[in-house]
Amino acid sequence: MRLLLIEDYLPLVRSLSQGLREAGYAVDTATDGEVGLEHAEATNYDAIILDLMLPKIDGLTVLKRLRGDHNATPILVLTARDGIDDRVKGLDLGADDYLVKPFAFEEFLARVRAIIRRRYQSSTSTIRIGDLEIDTTARVVRRGGTPIILSAREYALLEYLAARRGQVVSRGEIWDHVYDFASEPSSNVVDVYIGYLRRKLEPVGGPKLIHTRRGQGYVFGDRE
Amino acid sequence: MTRPAASLHLRLTAAVVGVVGLSLCAFSLALHTTFSAAIFRQFDERLAQDARAVANMVEERVGEPWEFEPGALEGFEQKDGGAYFEVWMDDGVLLARSPSLGTADLARPRSLTDTMIVGTRLPNGRTGRVFLASLPPRQDEEGPPAPSGRRVTVAVALSTAEVDATIATLRFLLWGSGLAALVLAALVGAFAIRGGLAPVGRLAGRIGVLDARRLSERLPVGDLPRELGPVVVKLNELLARLEESFGRERQFSADVSHELRTPLAGLRSLLEVASSRERPAPEYKSALGDALHVVERMSSLVENLLMLARLEAHQVRVTNEEIALHELVEESYAPLAAKASARMLLVENRIPSDTLFISDREKLRVVVTNLLANAVEYTAENGRVTVESAASPGEVLRVCDSGPAIPDEALERIFDRFFRLDSARSGTGDHCGVGLSLSHSRSVRCARPVHRCRESPRRLSNVQRPEDR
């Protein structure tokens, strides 16, 4: 999953983006409202984390513009300001959730997961396909109870495919949702990682989970 | 009605009643006096006429006692009828008396120089008036050829019963109508006054509804009586000031919470993420270093806020000493040098090295540091900042920079706590907008308030000398 973090306080930007990347997300950052809006309009993120007090264009305005343009990306609003009014305003303008600083990082992660889940409309944090079990909270994958070790990138890819299961996902979409600006663009890195994933998830002779649709992309699921 | 309105009501009504009462009294008194005087004058005229008539009935005889010829004398016959007369010779010998007297006598004065009219008790017990005069007898052809010129003393007494009654009636009427008028005035006055004061009560009601949550409301001026107009206008101005003041307080409270919570959030996330997994030592070291930076920023913010609070509560003492200004400026600038060169600013200290100033060194340093820090932060890149000596009396030094200029509306507010020109925050620099406010507060103690003047394209900040006591 790919996230946009719009926050101007540098220590917070650094620690949050590091924590999120270590949790397997691709993270892009912006330190003012103008750049943040540009990124959000240009790229399809799985969630946006938005601070309200921003230079140039403030958070509520960014929120208003995104929703005004019918951008339905889930948004988690962060703020240090007092007051019910701010929270109500943020939620009414279209934010999906609200977190008051300072917060525990674990809670922050949980809320990010929750708004992404809602976007992909799954109500539980564990995805089961056949005997494959993906625990998105613990970021653990099991087959028949036995854990499967995946690298962070592999897990991120699997998580995205699973969230979109049953739908055709193009390479471009995979690229947008699993890699961030910091990644080196490469034409077949997606295919390579799909290969890695197949090797780990589909034992020889066992059911295929990742299906190729020639010319279109991939589909994740236990049916063709 | 609220208390104050009642006493005003009472006072006005009392005033009305008092004035009406006094006027009525004065009027009644005048009327009574004039009327009584007139009526008694008339009465006394009658007495005088009767006396002259009686005197005319006396005939002088030479060599014989004078004669008294009672002519047509009505009214004096009836005993105790209330009309009496007596006549004496000038030597005191009784000459005549009215039938009504019977055997009684009217008082006769020993000597009579002039006409006398006095109130008296009549022989029948009633009150009356007696006229006493020395009058000549009848003078006609039947008299002696050479009148002696002697006179007779005549006393005529008449009952004043009628007159008294008339006056009594008048008095009664005056009292009666006076009281009635007074009562009427009181009632009508009270009623009218209550009506007149009703707007005050209504205004009080409207004011009572206002509270801290509804400060944007203003009292309507249109339908008020002229006298209350100015009051309401001033009240509205007060409300505007209060609204502004409350607004600033709310803003300050919101800003403080943001300014304190943001570094705390950074600190927390920093430490939580760093400790979330095993890391190589250099990573921990770097995280701890970042954490320390944040703590330093919070520390200085907290110190500034405390100082601000203390200054505003007048708890800080000022200790004066001789300060070399040039050096102080250098000291204040030192921590900012790195940032200034990063922004390619040319900073000059043009204060002569021998300039001295007596003030509180520590606080003056903070003032100067804040001004310089602001200049370094907000002057456009590649600009210049110069610190100069005083250019006019009362100044201590000036910090001029090449801009951008502060807009006029902001000039007033730049010393507010946390105010920054970019309302969304102009940067995550080590400022949080408390600096200038602090300068302002401290300056009040060790120098006159700092003000910024705009001379496009340059901005100036002056540090002024304290007012002379």
pLDDT single digits (tens) B233-248: 898 898 888 888 888 7
How many secondary structure helices (H) and strands (E) does chain B include?
Answer: 9, 14
Q: Which of A160, A93, A83, A91 is nearest to A120 (CA)?
A: A160
Q: Which residue of B has its CA nearest to A79?
A: B258
At A104, is the pLDDT very low, low, confident or very high (cuts 50, 70, 90)?
A: very high
Residue B335 DSSP symbol: G
Q: Which residue of B has its CA nearest to A57?
A: B424
Residue B462 confidence (pLDDT): 54
CB contact under 8 A, B265 and A105: no
C-alpha distance from A39 to closest chain B C-alpha (Å): 20
User: Which residues, listed in sequence order, are joined to residue B58 by a DSSP beta bridge?
Assistant: B68
CA distance B365 to B161: 106
Count of all residues that appear for chain B in the document: 469
- The better pLDDT of the pair B113, A100 is held by A100
CB contact under 8 A, A56 and B262: no
Residue B404 confidence (pLDDT): 65
Average pLDDT, chain A: 87
Tell me if residue A89 falls in helix, strand or coil. Answer: helix
Q: Which residues contact B59 (CB under 8 A, 6 or more apart)?
A: B66, B67, B68, B69, B137, B138, B142, B143
Statement: residue B231 has pLDDT above 90: no
C-alpha distance from B287 to closest chain A C-alpha (Å): 9
Residue B432 confidence (pLDDT): 39
Residue B324 confidence (pLDDT): 86
Pick from A13, A61, A82 the residue to mutate for testing the B interface (most B CBs within 10 Å). Answer: A82
At B300, is the pLDDT very low, low, confident or very high (cuts 50, 70, 90)?
A: confident
Mean pLDDT of A1-8: 93
Of the ranges A219-223, B177-181, B464-468, the best mean pLDDT one: B177-181
Residue B312 confidence (pLDDT): 66
Q: What ipTM score was computed for the predicted complex, to two decimals?
A: 0.77
Q: Which of A16, A80, A106 sits opposite B258 (nearest CB)?
A: A80
Statement: residue B256 has pLDDT above 80: no
C-alpha distance from A2 to closest chain B C-alpha (Å): 19
CA distance A9 to A13: 6
- The better pLDDT of the pair B377, A116 is held by A116
Statement: residue A184 has pLDDT above 70: no
Q: Which strands make up the sheet holding B395-401, listed edge to edge?
A: B346-349, B384-389, B395-401, B458-464, B448-455
Q: What percent of chain B has pLDDT over 90?
A: 16
Statement: residue A125 has pLDDT above 70: yes
CA angle A89, A94, A97 (to 5 degrees): 80
Statement: residue B396 has pLDDT above 80: no
Backbone angles phi, psi at A169, to 5 degrees: -115, 125
Pick from B272, B283, B301, B418 the residue to mutate for testing the A interface (most A CBs within 10 Å). Answer: B272
CA distance A50 to A5: 6
- Chain B contact residues (CB < 8 Å to A): 253-254, 257-270, 272-274, 276-277, 287, 290, 293-294, 422, 424-428
Q: Which residue of A has its CA nearest to B259?
A: A80
| Residue A6 contacts residue A51 (beta carbons within 8 Å) | yes
C-alpha distance from B202 to closest chain A C-alpha (Å): 34
Q: What percent of chain B has pLDDT over 70?
A: 79
For residue B176, the tally of other CB atoms under 10 A from its CB is 10
From chain A, the residues in CB contact with B259 under 8 A are 80
| Residue B377 contacts residue B398 (beta carbons within 8 Å) | no
Statement: residue A51 has pLDDT above 90: yes
CA distance A54 to A50: 9
How many secondary structure helices (H) and strands (E) does chain A include?
Answer: 8, 12
Which amino acid is located at A191 in the chain?
A: D
Which amino acid is located at B90 in the chain?
A: D
| Residue B328 contacts residue B368 (beta carbons within 8 Å) | yes
pLDDT tens per residue, range B24-83: 999 999 999 999 999 999 999 998 888 888 888 888 877 777 787 777 667 777 776 788
Residue B424 confidence (pLDDT): 36
Q: Which strands make up the sheet holding A217-220, listed edge to edge?
A: A168-169, A217-220, A210-213
Q: Which of A22, A53, A106 sits opposite B277 (nearest CB)?
A: A22
Residue A16 confidence (pLDDT): 96
Size of interface A-B (CB pairs under 8 A): 99
Q: Which of B253, B258, B263 sits opposite A53 (nearest CB)?
A: B258
Token readout for B347 is 């900073």
C-alpha distance from B17 to closest chain A C-alpha (Å): 59
CB contact under 8 A, B272 and A106: yes
CB contact under 8 A, B426 and A55: yes
| Residue B424 contacts residue A53 (beta carbons within 8 Å) | yes
| Residue B440 contacts residue B463 (beta carbons within 8 Å) | no
Mean pLDDT of B124-149: 79
From chain B, the residues in CB contact with A63 under 8 A are none
Average pLDDT, chain B: 77
Token readout for A179 is 């890699």
Pick from B294, B428, B430 the residue to mutate for testing the A interface (most A CBs within 10 Å). Answer: B428
Token readout for B334 is 């030192």
CA distance A42 to A39: 5
Q: Which residues contact B27 (CB under 8 A, 6 or more apart)?
A: none
Q: Which of A19, A83, A100 sits opposite B254 (nearest CB)?
A: A83
Mean pLDDT of A155-173: 88
Sign of CA dihedral A195, A201, A205, A209: negative
Which amino acid is located at A159 in the chain?
A: E
CB contact under 8 A, A12 and B274: no
Interchain CB contact of A85 with B (< 8 Å):
no
The structure tokens 């002697």 sit at B150
Statement: residue A212 has pLDDT above 70: yes
Q: Which of A89, A5, A88, A10 is nearest to A47 (CA)?
A: A5
Mean pLDDT of B253-276: 88
Interchain CB contact of A57 with B (< 8 Å):
yes
Residue A15 confidence (pLDDT): 95
pLDDT tens per residue, range B140-156: 766 666 777 788 888 88
Q: Which of B85, B84, B197 is nearest to B152 (CA)?
A: B85
Q: Which residues contact A184 (CB under 8 A, 6 or more apart)?
A: none
For residue A97, the tally of other CB atoms under 10 A from its CB is 18
CA distance A51 to B200: 52
Q: Which of A46, A58, A47 is nearest to A8 (CA)?
A: A58
Token readout for B247 is 């607004």
Mean pLDDT of A140-154: 86
Statement: residue B417 has pLDDT above 60: no
Exposed/middle/buried for B119, CB within 10 Å: 0-12, 13-18, 19+? exposed
Residue B72 confidence (pLDDT): 67
Residue B171 confidence (pLDDT): 92
Mean pLDDT of B346-370: 80
Interchain CB contact of A198 with B (< 8 Å):
no
Mean pLDDT of B249-272: 85
Of the ranges B201-205, B356-360, B380-384, the best mean pLDDT one: B201-205
Q: Helix, strand, coil shares of chain A as percentages rounded to 5?
A: 40, 20, 40
At B5, is the pLDDT very low, low, confident or very high (cuts 50, 70, 90)?
A: low
Token readout for B350 is 């043009």
Q: Which of A58, A78, A103 sits opposite B424 (nearest CB)?
A: A58
Q: Which of B257, B294, B427 sits opposite A81 (nearest CB)?
A: B257
User: Which residues, listed in sequence order, are joined to residue A5 by a DSSP beta bridge?
Assistant: A29, A49
Token readout for B321 is 């000493």
At B392, is the pLDDT very low, low, confident or very high (cuts 50, 70, 90)?
A: low
Residue B423 confidence (pLDDT): 37
Look at A9-23, B105-119, B353-367, B389-403 and tell me which has the smallest mean pLDDT. B389-403
Statement: residue A107 has pLDDT above 90: yes
Statement: residue A88 has pLDDT above 90: no
CA distance B423 to A56: 9
Residue B143 confidence (pLDDT): 64
pLDDT tens per residue, range B164-192: 999 999 999 999 999 999 899 889 888 88
Q: Which residue of A has its CA nearest to B428?
A: A9
Which amino acid is located at B256 in the chain?
A: V
Residue A29 confidence (pLDDT): 96
From chain A, the residues in CB contact with B287 under 8 A are 15
Statement: residue B223 has pLDDT above 80: no
Q: What percent of chain A has pLDDT over 70?
A: 94
